[in-house]
Amino acid sequence: MQRLIMQRLSLSVFLATACLFLRAEQKTVCQQSTAGLSCGRGWVIHIDSADYGRSDRTTCSRGRSSNQLQNVHCAASGATDRVAWMCDGKSHCSVTASNSVFDDPCYGTYKYLQVSYSCKCKAIEQKTVCELSTADLTCGLGQVINIDSADYGRHDRTTCSQGRPSEQLQIVNCASSGATNRVAEMCNGKSHCLVRASDSVFGDPCVGTYKYLYVFYCCKCKPDPIGE
């Protein structure tokens, strides 16, 4: 069972890419100002790129002398990594466009910070419940359930074994056919779903064996997370 769960989990992690919704947003702030990055509830920041310096003579030019705008080949090294370290995985983040944060890549030039980021949500969950118990599948606000795989039966002698006689644990190649499709029909597209581990739901693949249900699912994101 452990190997099977690890294989399923590896597959689920690989498939997590399909459970992401990303939408790009860009913030530009002048030197000594602060960029406020924000995602709605259930979403987290993912930094795509960041630049601190100057690449044109028009951005953040108001009220500045011409000699502060001439160097347009100015970029602080490591800006993306720095902002990612500060903000990735958070729902809100503030970054000040300053030499104290990024160092000074071009002394005497008036600089600005440009950040491109996305809001993403991702949830890989695994639920295991014993026979006649109920699996509670839940996603956060703005997310819906997407079933990766489900199995009802028995694949080892240890899972859900407490208090059960040994004869109920002997068959370990027991699996209900169509369990994934059944749970997907019940739960896909919902934010909350209850699935009972029972023969009445999945049929009885091995009479006399005490079974369990495990479900792998991810939370797919609804669009337009930025500015919620």
Tokens read off for 55: 């690449």
> What is the pLDDT, as a whole number, of residue 184?
96
> What is the pLDDT, as a whole number, of residue 89?
85
Q: Which domain range does residue 115 map to? A: 22-120
* pLDDT profile of the chain (228 residues), mean per 10: 46 43 82 94 84 98 96 96 93 96 96 93 78 95 85 96 97 95 96 97 98 90 54
My answer on whether 13 and 44 are in the same domain is no
Q: What is the CATH number of the domain that holds 184?
A: 2.60.120.740
Residue 227 lies in a domain: no
> What is the pLDDT, as a whole number, of residue 220?
77
Residue 137 lies in a domain: yes
> What is the pLDDT, as a whole number, of residue 136?
98
> What is the pLDDT, as a whole number, of residue 62?
96
CB 20 within 8 A of CB 122: yes
> What is the pLDDT, as a whole number, of residue 52?
98
CB 209 within 8 A of CB 7: no
- H helices of 88-178, in order, are 99-102
